[in-house]
Amino acid sequence: MGHRCCSKQKVKRGLWSPEEDEKLIKYMATHVQTSWSSVPKQAGLQRCGKSCRLRWINYLRPDLKRGSFSSQEERTIIDVHRILGNRWSQIAKHLPGRTDNEVKNFWNSCIKKKLVAQGLDPKTHKLIPPSRGPSMPPFLKRFQTPPAPFTLSMNHNTNMEMMNSIPSITSFPPLPPPPVHPTPIEEAMIIPDVLMSFQDQHSHNSMEFTDASSSLDHSTFNQTAFMDDTSMWNKYNNTLELQASQEQVQVQAQPQLTSPIGNKGVSMDNYDPTAFDLQLIDTFLSPCDVFYNGNSMDHLHWG
């Protein structure tokens, strides 16, 4: 039973021989590849195009990094996986020279086991309750807090100029109804320990997203990001559309709108919680841009 894409052809399956590799490498080096389906024929291979593509992408490509993963790469995989889940191709983009298949295999064969051994759920990256997992050392128990909202904290030196400098913050529409399932961006935002700084291009004032799990009360996480510290908002920014009746001011932010990268004061009239900018997340999560502010896993031993 061959592939559907090549059912008419006689195709070889299984492991590639060095001769086949050589043919494909030679072909790829001398031809501008337009369609994978035509590669086998032109390269003289008894394979289907899909198989050629896979072999090239996962094994023969010259820019591939071979060998075992470094601890830095391992951390990056864990970090990005926590936010994106099993989006191996997205994760692999943060690891130059690594393929999605390689990352996936490494995750399944190695990282997953490590997380489980440390009492962490590899899907959620949260501590597994003692009843379901290995007994938890006392020092880890304090990290077993509910998922913290993604908060914007400000100190009392924050001034109006700074507040007004935040692009697009005045254009937030009313909160849309909460979805049944979290959207990817919500998942991305439910990070108790991520520390993100962002700086307005004009004012050079910066705002920090800090870990809310260790401070103040927890806002109810509703749609995307909430900003805590009601008094600050009320006191300093009367241009914000605040829901004064609520005990906690919940300012909804769609990341690409509040990001200084785009710096666009975009209306969210057509807000679609399911559509968000993966690239932006990528930007936030580029290997050197991910910071930790007290993560349970930082207290564990790796290796």
Partner DNA sequence: AACTATTTCAACCGCAGGAAA
Partner DNA sequence: GTTTCCTGCGGTTGAAATAGT
- Report the alpha-carbon angle 104-183-217, nearest 5: 110
Q: How far apart are CA 299 and CA 139, in angstroms?
A: 9
* 54 versus 216: smaller Cβ distance to DNA: 54
Residue 93 makes CB contacts below 8 A (sequence gap 6+) with: 282
Under a CB-based contact definition with an 8 Å cutoff, are residues 115 and 121 in contact? yes
The distance of closest approach from Cβ of residue 214 to DNA in the complex, given in angstroms and rounded to an integer, is 32
Residue whose tokens read 């337009």: 34
Read off φ and ψ for residue 196, nearest 5 degrees: -120, 135
Q: Which is nearer to DNA, 80 or 207 (CB)?
A: 80
Burial (CB < 10 A; 0-12, 13-18, 19+), residue 266, is: middle
Q: What SS3 state is found at 290?
A: coil
CB of 277 to DNA, least distance (A): 14
What is the smallest separation between the CB atom of 56 and DNA, expressed in angstroms? 9
Q: Considering the complex, state which of residue 77 and residue 232 has its C-beta at the smaller distance from DNA.
A: 77
Contact set with DNA (CB under 7 A): 1-5, 13-16, 34-37, 49-51, 53-55, 58-59, 68, 86-90, 100-102, 104-106, 108-110, 113
How far apart are alpha carbons 267 and 247 in whole angstroms?
26
Q: Cβ of residue 21: shortest distance to DNA, in angstroms?
A: 8
Q: How far is the CB of 119 from DNA (least distance, A)?
A: 18
Closer Cβ to DNA, 35 or 135, answer by number:
35
Complex with DNA: residue 28 or 242, whichever CB lies closer:
28
